[in-house]
């Protein structure tokens, strides 16, 4: 078996590509169920966020399995699929990548706090759909622990910015002062709430909130003494806004040249700033071509000045040391897992044969008491344990080494085990098991 990750992120693909691979929880579950029907992928987890989509896989046959997954991804992406957007890491490199993701070292903004909960959510979906077993359960629990350890033992999250706070910083960079700014927040979800909170903290006085569900917009506006705007009236308010920050879950553009363009003459030349922090994007990039309109998407936020960047870079080095320690620890734990099927099979066969012989012996010795039968059963269990002790130690010692495959074959041949895992091998090769 081999551990692998196939994915893309903000470093390898622009937002217009990433948004095609941004899947909600139901879609993630559907993709995992599709993978479940493929025999060579016994375990899988799909992590999908605004800045990355990654498939973590346990593979029986790496070459065939990766080819199948790539065909699936190509089908999901359609004509927009390009292989160069994707990375494929295996073994230790896969583990290292996951630990860096969980520690927010691979995030758009180092130190952001959302990625750990996103990993937990992806792992829960995989477990619910019966796509995790020993390896991924061990790996994901360790990754979550590593993420927590990094945040506890370093100051990487100290004065950290999020996507929402970076959007507000960008607004300040543009306007200079938010106290007199007319700001419209489109969307009423978690990201919109975080954005509104940062706006208030940075001096904004006038916040309007619009959402398809007016009750949700009202609920958010009430938290910050803002004003809820019915969705139908959003564009009228947009004509008056200085900055519009959008973060909806819509699968299509919310603001377009068709619905916003006709309102621009009402602004009489006043510039309009659109900050789009949604993936998939809310703002049609064609609006950038309209006079007086400037569009920023989530990729542009990386360039926002971060006064604490150097500080967190130093803390990131400490985090990398923690990750290396955890990798070595995990390798020791996982080392024997690939040998476990043969070890379990050998144990099961010996126990099967022991019970088979005992059953016949007890038939021939009907005078035995229940206590005597219990003692004989226990004695044979101990003999089985002593007999298997050295072979088990030897198998554990070669697990994860270049000798592993040869040793599996040797043990299977010696004890007549079926390497495919079916029953206990070809017993016809022995004249009489009895």
Known catalytic residues? 50
H or E element at residue 194: helix 190-201
In this structure, how many other beta carbons lie within 10 angstroms of the beta carbon of residue 431?
6
Q: What distance in Å separates the CA atoms of residue 319 and residue 253, rounded to the nearest whole number?
A: 38
Verify cis geometry, omega within 30 degrees of 0, for the bond prior to 280: yes
Q: What distance in Å separates the CA atoms of residue 395 and residue 342, rounded to the nearest whole number?
A: 9
Verify cis geometry, omega within 30 degrees of 0, for the bond prior to 434: no
In this structure, how many other beta carbons lie within 10 angstroms of the beta carbon of residue 342?
22
Q: What residues does 165 pair with on adjacent strands?
A: none
Q: What distance in Å separates the CA atoms of residue 75 and residue 258, rounded to the nearest whole number?
A: 31
Q: What distance in Å separates the CA atoms of residue 300 and residue 167, rounded to the nearest whole number?
A: 9
DSSP 296-333: E-GGGGGGS--TTHHHHHHHHHHHHHHHHHHHHHHHHH
Distances (CA, A) of 368 to 220, 351, 352, 364: 78, 21, 22, 10
Q: Are 394 and 407 in contact (CB under 8 A)?
A: yes
H or E element at residue 73: helix 62-77
């Amino acid at each position: 078996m081999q551990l692998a990750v196939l994915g893309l992120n903000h470093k390898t693909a622009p937002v217009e590509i990433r948004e095609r691979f941004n899947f909600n929880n139901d879609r993630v579950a559907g993709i995992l169920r599709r993978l479940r029907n493929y025999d060579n992928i016994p375990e899988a987890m799909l992590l999908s966020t605004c800045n990355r989509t990654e498939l973590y896989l346990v593979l029986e046959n790496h070459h065939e399995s990766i080819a199948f997954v790539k065909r699936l991804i190509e089908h999901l992406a359609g004509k927009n699929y390009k292989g160069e957007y994707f990375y494929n890491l295996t073994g230790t490199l896969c583990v290292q990548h996951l630990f860096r993701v969980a520690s927010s070292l691979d995030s758009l903004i180092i130190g952001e706090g959302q990625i750990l909960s996103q990993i937990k959510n992806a792992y829960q979906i995989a477990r619910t759909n019966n796509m995790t077993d020993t390896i991924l359960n061990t790996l994901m629990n360790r990754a979550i622990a590593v993420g927590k350890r990094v945040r506890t033992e370093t100051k990487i999250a100290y004065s950290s910015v999020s996507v929402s706070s970076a959007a507000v910083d960008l607004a300040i960079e543009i306007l200079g002062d938010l106290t007199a700014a007319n700001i419209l927040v489109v969307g009423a979800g978690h990201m919109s709430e975080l954005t509104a909170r940062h706006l208030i903290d940075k001096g904004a006085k006038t916040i309007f909130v619009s959402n398809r569900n007016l009750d949700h917009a009202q609920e958010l506006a009430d938290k910050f003494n803002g004003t809820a705007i019915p969705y139908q009236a959003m564009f009228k308010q947009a004509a008056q806004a200085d900055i519009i920050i959008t973060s909806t879950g819509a699968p299509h553009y919310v603001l377009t040249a068709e619905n916003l363009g006709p309102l621009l003459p009402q602004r009489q030349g006043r510039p309009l700033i659109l900050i789009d922090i949604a993936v998939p994007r809310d703002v049609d990039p064609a609006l950038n071509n309209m006079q007086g309109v400037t569009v920023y998407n989530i990729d542009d936020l990386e360039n926002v000045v971060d006064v604490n960047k150097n500080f967190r870079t130093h803390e990131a080095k400490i985090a990398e040391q923690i990750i290396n320690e955890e990798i070595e620890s995990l390798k020791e734990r996982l080392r024997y897992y690939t040998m476990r099927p043969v070890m379990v099979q050998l144990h099961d066969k010996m126990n099967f044969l022991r019970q088979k012989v005992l059953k016949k012996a007890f038939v021939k010795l009907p005078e035995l008491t229940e206590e005597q039968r219990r003692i004989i059963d226990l004695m044979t269990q101990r003999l089985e344990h002593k007999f298997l002790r050295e072979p088990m130690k030897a198998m554990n010692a070669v697990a994860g080494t270049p000798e592993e495959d040869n040793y599996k074959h040797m043990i299977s041949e010696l004890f007549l085990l079926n390497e495919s895992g079916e029953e206990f091998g070809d017993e016809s090769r022995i004249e009489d098991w009895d």
